[in-house]
Structure 1
Amino acid sequence: MNASSQDPVRARAIQQLNRKRGVQAHVLIYLLANLIQVIVWWAYTPDQFFWPLWSILGWGIGLVFHIWAIYSSSSLDEDRIEQEINRIQRGRPS
């Protein structure tokens, strides 16, 4: 295999690694930010409603979708891409 045929694969691998690094940063920030909120709650209002719950749940939902988008199988995506290419080549509207 020559170098020119490897370039698109290498570029895609680099892109995927950057996306995974982004997810890792997102998880780290999520954990640190919510830990700080729990500490503030515990230090100042432990007898009141556990208000960090809203951040943990709301942000957690977004985090789950982010992780799912990055780590889900890409074979389905490739199938969809191929179907879309075929649809465009046939001149059919979506």
Structure 2
Amino acid sequence: MTRWHRFRSDVVAYVVINGAFIVGIWALTGSGYFWPGWILAAWGMGLVLAGWDVFFRRDVTDEDIQRELRKIR
């Protein structure tokens, strides 16, 4: 499974679990203090980091290693 597919499935799980279950439980139990916000924020930070990994990080190549070694010498 590629990083993109894994990220996409993580986003779907985030929306389904948080949107349907966590916020749904909060709404059904009286809608007082919005405690699901803590779960949404924590899990959301994980998704942001996973998105960074998918869209912005690039793998280190042999050429990158050789270039850094030439700088040291």
TM-score band w.r.t. shorter chain: 0.7 to 0.9
Q: Which of 13, 21, 28 is residue 29 of structure 1 equivalent to?
A: 13
In the TM superposition, residue 27 of structure 1 has moved relative to its aligned partner by 0.1
State how many pairs are aligned. 71
Does residue 43 of structure 1 match 2:28? yes
- Structure 1 stretches of at least 4 aligned residues deviating more than 4 Å after TM superposition: 89-92
Show the counterpart of 1:55.
39
Counterpart CA distance in 1 for 2:27 and 2:71 is: 62
Counterpart CA distance in 2 for 1:61 and 1:21 is: 19
Q: TM-score by structure 2 length?
A: 0.77
Q: TM-score by structure 1 length?
A: 0.62
In structure 2, stretches of 5+ residues that fail to align are: none
Greater Rg, structure 1 or structure 2?
A: 1
Show the counterpart of 1:7.
none
Higher helix share: 1
Bigger RCO of structures 1 and 2 (CA < 8 A, at least 6 apart): 2
In structure 1, stretches of 5+ residues that fail to align are: 1-14
